[in-house]
Structure 1
Amino acid sequence: MKKLSDCRILLVDDAKVNLDILVEGLKSDHKLSLALTGETALQIASRTPPDLVLLDIVMPGMDGYEVCRRMRQIPETAEVPIMFLSSLEEIQNKTLGFEAGANDYLTKPFDMLEVKARVRSLLKAKAYSDEVKEQIATELRFAREIQMGMLPHDFIPVERDYGVQFGAVLEPAREVGGDLYGICAAGAERLVIFFGDVSGKGIPASMFMVRAISLARLLARDMAEPEHILARLNDELATDNPSGMFVTFLCAVFEPKSGRLTLANAGHCRPVLRPADAPPRWAMKNLGTALGFEPGMEFERAELNLRPGDSLILYSDGVTEAFNPQEECYGNDRLLADAGAFNGSSAPVITAGLLEKVRAFARGAPQSDDIAILTLQVNGTGGRT
């Protein structure tokens, strides 16, 4: 926990005599920064964020209320405690101060002992809060490492054995997320691919994601048909689901020697088929129903025949529902058009290129949802021999 003597206090008052009193009373216990105007205070706070602000209200130019409001809008000072020191003692003045975002309010003339006691209290509370946040951030970093470790990263053995190529990316909107993808070598003639998106974000979604991906891997080894895998996975998720969460899920089974790809969809985004010699199109029409609502559901299947050079692009709705600063949506039409720009490209290049297209469209707007893309491309080597 940060020592109180290492904490920096920003003192803001247009009256130099008040600053002198505060400096004399606090200089031996804390680091200090001084400002005679609200404008200067904002500049100092953004350049060197303090641990606490003691703020006058009546000042020339920008008053203390406005300084407080603006500090709450600046990321560096949004959670820094602010205490008003003001001669305004009416209840409406104090109310305005707290509504502006202040943590405390003390009227002038003040007693220095009381100021020091309140300063220590606010600084201790902030130090404890900062320590808790750092602990949570550390735990989330470990959780992200564990979650990302569950996803396949080395595709070389599968690519060699099944005559395919993969490109994959997953970028959670938060430290951890609910998007998932997986690949299961279920036999010499069967490669199972699945892709999903858990409802919500953050830790709850990531935990449900871990459960879904673990079950899918087990089921894929014993069941040959994608619609049956989805039906069984749905039963398992729906039977014990007190949180009421759900996951959209797409399962595909690829047979390397024949090139047959069998698909079943449980409410997930329609995959894009990118033939080697034709424009991109949707690989299937129906979306189906997401997993986890109720047991006993059935799912439809679709079949494709993939030839050398053909690609199948799986993605989450964080791609199509990405927004730019003008709140325009990336959308399905733009996805199809952009997918057509990678003629002759490898699976990793297609995946990275689409992600770059989405980022370019968003132009720095905050990522509102997890983004995941998995591209399967057929090489035509015929798989295992």
Structure 2
Amino acid sequence: MWALNIFGFFIVDKLLMNLAMPTGVLLFLLPSLLVRVWKRRQWMLKYVIMGCFLLGIGTLSSTLTIQLVLAWACPVIVSCHYYSPRFTHFTLAGVLLCMLCAVYIGLYYGVWDANMMRSSEVLEGITMRAAFISDAIAAGDNLLLRVFNFYYIPRAAILVVVYLIGITLSKRTHNLLRRQEADNREKQRIGAELHVATQIQASMLPCIFPAFPERKEFDIYAAMNPAREVGGDFYDFFLTDADHLALVMADVSGKGIPAALFMVIAKTLLKNAAQSGLSPRAVLETVNNQLCENNEAEMFVTVWLGIYEISTGRLKVANAGHEFPAIKRANGEFALYKEKSGFVLAGMENARYREYNLELHKGDVLFIYTDGVAEATDAANTLYGTGRMLAALNRASDGTPKELLHAVKDDVDRFVGEAPQFDDITMLALQIKG
């Protein structure tokens, strides 16, 4: 605009334009400096910035009376960004006041508006315009009142409409942001609670290895990788007395917090029943009836339970709908041991379970796991399967229980790739040393 006026595009006194344009530009740039140096009373900063904005538009609008009409809507729209009705009210009042001043100043200093002046003859200079306005008033044409009625009021009405639309949208947006902020706080709270729940769940599972450093007859290792922050799988192992080691592998239906809560109950009941000296079959039957009581959520759990007699190498096992274990005999390979399985726990009251015996000798390895291993899928939705699991175990068959579990987990990860993990992966390996 400045350059166009120099070449005569706008009919504005060049001296006046040379004063108005630098002043307007300075007022527009001043907020950028204020943001950097203003340290005290931050709440006042937005009012000072908006004041500079209004003065800048007012200065230019007084000069370019026709071309900058729409510019007055900008401060109102910008003020809505602060989501403060009070600030938007202040801005609208400032806009209406500054625009009123700019309209009348423009009569004397700005671009000649032939429609407003009712004269196609361009009058330059303040003196000539003042005389023209005075003559019009004396002739019964109150130019000042006519400008107010037909120029200022319509523009002000448009700005009020812009204000009403802007503040309505601002309130809606502000409410949405507040709800989003509340949702984010709630998600953070839930995330923190889930993190604590994960730590609590992890602390409930045996996680210190070697678990029994004083026992040279066997080596044991277990691990759980939940698909979510907290999972429904669990394992357990504990000595019921000096000669008996209980092994538990279980998978609760569902995922997340409900499964974790049911897992805590099931794990506690299983351990209490096993430590009382019951056989694996009796443990499952007792715990099944306990879990069926008040099971309004209709959850259930699959359980593989074995009690290993260390002195004889005899392993008594009962299975409640769980995966078949894999066993490697000394100098042999891993293979599934397919025994008959009973119904899941908490699925039906008074269910009966079978019990069978296994003989474990020096060099034998027992591997138990949840269905998250065999049912892991890749991007093409192909199952990992027990075949790949056995192959991974046999490739690392000479390793320790810890190395076996890591070998299987690494093989599952390679197979799955970038596909998401939908089920918990839990494994336990027991190696007989003598």
TM-score by length of structure 1 reads 0.70
The Cα shift of 1:342 comes to 1.0
1:26 Cα deviation after fit:
4.4
> Are 2:163 and 1:115 aligned?
no
Give the direction of change, closer, same or farther, for the CA distance of 1:159–1:194 in structure 2 (3 Å limit).
farther
Q: Which has the higher strand share?
A: 1
Cα distance in 2 for partners of 1:288, 1:189 equals 27
In the alignment, is the contact (CA less than 8 A) between 2:333 and 2:397 conserved in 1? Answer: no
User: Which structure features the higher share of helix residues?
Assistant: 2
* Matched position secondary structure for 2:246: strand
**Distance (Å, rounded) in 2 between the aligned partners of 1:216 and 1:175:** 24
Q: Between Structure 1 and Structure 2, whose CA radius of gyration is higher? A: 2
Query: Against the structure 1 CA distance between its residues 28 and 361, is the aligned structure 2 distance closer, same or farther, given a 3 Å change threshold?
Result: same
Change in 2 beyond 3 A, CA 1:131/1:282 = same
After TM superposition, give the deviation of residue 275 of structure 1 in Å.
Answer: 2.0
Match of 2:394 among 336, 340, 350: 340
Which one-letter code corresponds to 1:302 in the other structure? Answer: Y
Alignment map for 1:249-288 (pairs within 5 Å):
249-288=303-342
Question: SS at 1:158's partner residue?
Answer: coil
Q: Tell me what 2:44 maps to.
A: none
Match of 1:372 among 422, 426, 429: 426
The aligned residue for residue 205 of structure 1 is: 259
Kindly report the root-mean-square deviation, in angstroms, between the aligned alpha carbons of the 2 structures: 2.4
- Following TM superposition, by how much is the alpha carbon of 1:250 offset from its aligned partner in structure 2, in angstroms? 0.6
Match of 2:404 in 1: 350
Q: Deviations over 1:268-317 (max 9, x none)?
A: 01111122311211123223211002221221122222122211111111
Tell me the SS of whatever aligns to 2:200: helix
Query: 2: distance between equivalents of 1:217 and 1:377?
Result: 22
Where 1:152 maps in the other structure, the secondary structure is coil
Question: Which residue number in structure 1 is paired with residue 286 of structure 2?
Answer: 232
**Bigger CA drift: 129-138 or 151-160?**
151-160
Matches of 1:285 and 1:232, distance apart in 2? 21
CA contact (8 A) 2:77 2:163 kept: no
Tell me, in whole angstroms, the C-alpha distance in 2 between the residues paired with 1:359 and 1:291: 30
Tell me the CA shift for residue 231 of structure 1. 1.1
- Shift of the 20–309 alpha-carbon distance from structure 1 to 2, 3 Å rule, reads farther
Q: CA deviation at 1:253?
A: 0.8
Q: How does 1:246-325 map to 2 (within 5 A)?
A: 246-325=300-379
Could you report, residue by residue, the CA deviation over 1:326-347 in whole angstroms, capped at 9, with x for unpaired residues? 1100012211222111121000
Q: 1:193 and 1:142 mapped to 2: Cα distance?
A: 27
Q: How does 1:100-139 map to 2 (within 5 A)?
A: 111-139=165-193
Give, in angstroms, the shift of residue 164 of structure 1.
1.3
Q: Which moved more, 1:315-324 or 1:230-239?
A: 230-239
Bigger drift between 190-199 and 334-343 goes to 334-343
Q: Give the alignment of 1:7-18 within 5 angstroms.
A: none
Q: Which residue identity does 2:304 align to in structure 1?
A: L
Cα contact 1:276–1:343 (8 A) shared by 2: no
Distance across 2 between alignment mates of 1:298 and 1:230: 8
User: Matches of 2:297 and 2:248 in 1, distance apart?
Assistant: 23
Q: State the partner residue of 2:416.
A: 362
Cα distance in 2, alignment partners of residues 358 and 22 from structure 1 = 59
Deviation sequence 1:112-164 (CA, Å, 0-9, x none): 21222122111111111111111111111111111111100124353533621
Shift of 1:254: 0.8
CA distance in 2, matches of 1:157, 1:328: 36
Aligned to 1:171: 225
Superposed displacement of residue 109, structure 1: 11
Aligned equivalents of 2:357 and 2:78: distance in 1? 80
- Measure the CA separation in 2 of the matches of 1:266 and 1:123: 50
| Change in 2 beyond 3 A, CA 1:318/1:21 | farther
Q: Which residue of 1 aligns with 2:295?
A: 241
1:321 Cα deviation from its structure 2 partner:
0.5
Matched residue type, 1:293: G
SS at match of 2:308: strand
SS in 2 for 1:168: strand
* Structure 1: segments with no counterpart, 5+ residues: 1-16, 31-107, 381-385
Work out the CA distance in 1 between the residues paired with 2:249 and 2:274. Answer: 13
Q: Could you tell me which residue of structure 2 aligns to residue 154 of structure 1?
A: 208
CA distance in 1, matches of 2:170, 2:294: 54
**Match of residue 246, structure 2, among 171, 182, 192:** 192
C-alpha contact 2:236 2:248 (8 A) present in aligned 1: yes
**In 2, Cα distance between equivalents of 1:26 and 1:164:** 72
Q: Which amino acid aligns with 1:121?
A: N
Paired residues, number: 289
Tell me, what secondary structure is at the counterpart of 2:241?
coil
TM-score using structure 2 length:
0.63
CA contact (8 A) 1:162 1:256 kept: no
CA distance in 2, matches of 1:343, 1:293: 36
Q: Distance in 2 between matches of 1:221 and 1:282?
A: 28
**Unaligned regions of 5+ residues in structure 2, if any?**
1-70, 85-161
Greater shift, 194-203 or 221-230, is seen at 221-230
Whichever residue aligns with residue 361 of structure 2, its letter is R
